[in-house]
Structures are given as C-alpha cells and as structure tokens.
Amino acid sequence: MRYRSFSLLFTTCALVGGIAAIPACSSDDPSAGPSPDPSSSPDASTDPDPAPDAGPDSEPPVRLGEDITPAIAKEICEAQAGQISAWFDANCSAADKERPEYAEIVGDFGSCDDDSVSAVPPNVGYDPAKLGECKAAVKGLLDASGSFADVLDRVFGALISGDVRDTCDAVIVGRVAAGGACTQPSQCAAGYSCFGAEDSTPGTCKLPGAVGGACWNGLASKTHPICVDGAYCSPDEGNAGTCKAYAPKDGSCAGTAQCAPGQICLSDVCSDAPAGDVGDACSGFGGCKPGNYCASGTCKAKEAAGPAECFVGFQGLGACQGLCAEGEPTNACVAFCGSN
C-alpha cells in the first residue's frame, strides 16, 4: 500500500496494534537515535528474569516492568496509533472520509481492537510512567498539527528519530538477558538488541557491536542499540552488517546514515541538520520545517490545491499540503483533512 512504510512505524516497530514481531523492521538510517555507552549496559552475566531457587523460602523471580495484559496492550496501542486515528476522525470532513485514500491511510495506522492486541510476545513488560510520557508526547505532536501534511511531517519524523521515538520505545521493558533467544529487540533487556532474528528464525540478545564488529541492521534506539555510541550499522548482505564510525562533521558522506545523530549529509558532507526555511539547503526528505518539502536539494513551500509536480504515494512528505492526485497531463494537489 502507498502508506505502508509509515504504518509499520506504529503497528510493528513501536509495538502498537498487535504488538507484533519486529524482524522485518529494517531501516536505511539506523543512526536515528544515539546508542548508549556499552559500559552502562546490563552485565551480560546477569539474568533479568532468573528462575526461582528450589528451596521453600525462595523469593519469586525478578520481574522487569509490569506484565502486559491484553488491556494494557490496547492502552499502548491507543497511546500512539489510536490517537492518530482519532485525529483523522476529528479533522477530516465527510467528503474526505469518502475518498478511498482515507480508509487506506487510517487503516494502515493499525487497529486497536481486541483481536489486534490479543497476542503479547513473551518476556516483555512495560513501564507505566513511560507509557504516560509516550501518550503525552504523541498528543503534543498532534496538537501542533493543523492539516494532514502537518501530521505526516511532525509525527512521521519524530517517531522515526528523536525524543518521541525514544520515549515510546522505552515503554516496552525486555526481560531476556545476553545470550537469550529473541524474535524482536523489545524482548531484550535495555542495552541489548536482537541479532539474527529473521522470519520464523529466532535471534540472540547481544550487546551493541563495536566499530568493526558485526551488527544486525535494523531500527536502532537508545533502549536497544545496534552499534556502540559513535557508530552505525553499514549493511553487508541481507540484514547482516558491520559497525562503522560516523563520519566527522564536515567529513565526506554518501548518505545521512553515515553522519552522527543531529547531522545530515548535504552535498556529500556531514552538516548540522537545518530547520529549513524556503530556499535553505536540504537532503532527501529531511531538513525542512513543517509546511516545506525538499526538492532538488532546496526547501520549498508545499503546494495548495492545483496542478503540481507531485508524486502519488509521497503525499505528506512531498509537494502537496494535502494529497497528490494522479492525472493527465500532470498530477495535481487536492485538499484533504485541513489542507488548502
């Protein structure tokens, strides 16, 4: 579907919707969040959820984070995907809701019904405080959004990288220690990530890779880093990769993934990421303020309804304030959910 890459952020990578497995969540930009110092990671010999002693006076096993029940799974879903779907319901007109794109967009954010949140993966808990912080952070993004383009600009960017993504990622508390089996990073204790999980094949919880060491290319976060601080995972083949040091500021680069967090690759050089006004330099879809988009390396204002050189499928991140409608001889921007 046209919006599938956006929806996966909510329904899979952020453990919303069905709190589903994450092996398929890969990213071309694993530098999205800085990795913690491995010296502060849990000791590899410490089991975060040990079995109780056999004696009659033994203590119960350690439980990291409160258990996730189906009701809590639904609450986690509602904190993210549910709030976004509610924004569309409140801000889209009856005519907007009749468009085929509406059902596709809202449906791709994920459902929070009982069937979707009934399967909770093993060996995970949650942090109630972080759940509240995540809900408030997403609400703040939505409150600052006045149109469909705003939602995609603000929410999409903040949940791929930045503090909001890190806050929501920290809601899930993994209980698997080093060397334990995993199918997704969230099952691993904080400081570890899941290496080698693919399709139905389980992986192993491991500390982040050192520079020059192996890594498992995926969506990095502060809670579950892939490489040590100061490094990113460069893909080798499939999901396997090698940790490489970030290029220095003003150093050469072939993509933003090679630059340190907070920088982007502009004109093949790592530069501080601008909050681009119209006319400022930008890279790819990044670096422009909400309401602008990056075209041929320069920030431009998003187009109101009318003929435009827009691309169907990249509506919220491209030239239009609303949707890009396919047409002949040229495509056109059309108003949608609060846009002009």
283 has which bridge partners?
286
Reported as a single tens digit per residue, the pLDDT across 141-200 is 899 888 887 887 777 667 666 678 888 989 999 999 999 999 888 899 999 999 998 888
DSSP 8-state assignment for residue 48: S
State how far the Cα of 29 lies from the Cα of 103, in Å rounded to an integer: 29
More confident residue, 9 or 242: 242
Q: Which residues, other chains included, contact 104 with Cβ-Cβ below 8 Å and sequence gap of 6+? A: 1, 2, 3
- The secondary structure element, H or E, covering residue 214 is strand 214-216
What pLDDT sits at residue 126?
94
Closest C-alpha to 265, from 35, 28, 8: 28
State how far the Cα of 268 lies from the Cα of 251, in Å rounded to an integer: 8
The percentage of residues in the chain with a pLDDT greater than 70, rounded to a whole number, is 74
Closest C-alpha to 1, from 84, 119, 102: 102
State how far the Cα of 278 lies from the Cα of 125, in Å rounded to an integer: 45
What pLDDT sits at residue 272?
83
DSSP 8-state assignment for residue 80: I
Span between the terminal Cα atoms of the chain, in Å: 25
Query: What is the SS3 assignment for 85?
Result: helix
**Residue 95 banded pLDDT, cuts 50, 70, 90:** very high
**Residue 2 banded pLDDT, cuts 50, 70, 90:** very low
What pLDDT sits at residue 1?
33
What pLDDT sits at residue 325?
84
CA 290 to chain centre: 18
What pLDDT sits at residue 312?
79
Weakest mean pLDDT among 12-21, 182-191, 254-263, 273-282: 12-21
What pLDDT sits at residue 285?
62
Query: What is the SS3 assignment for 146?
Result: coil
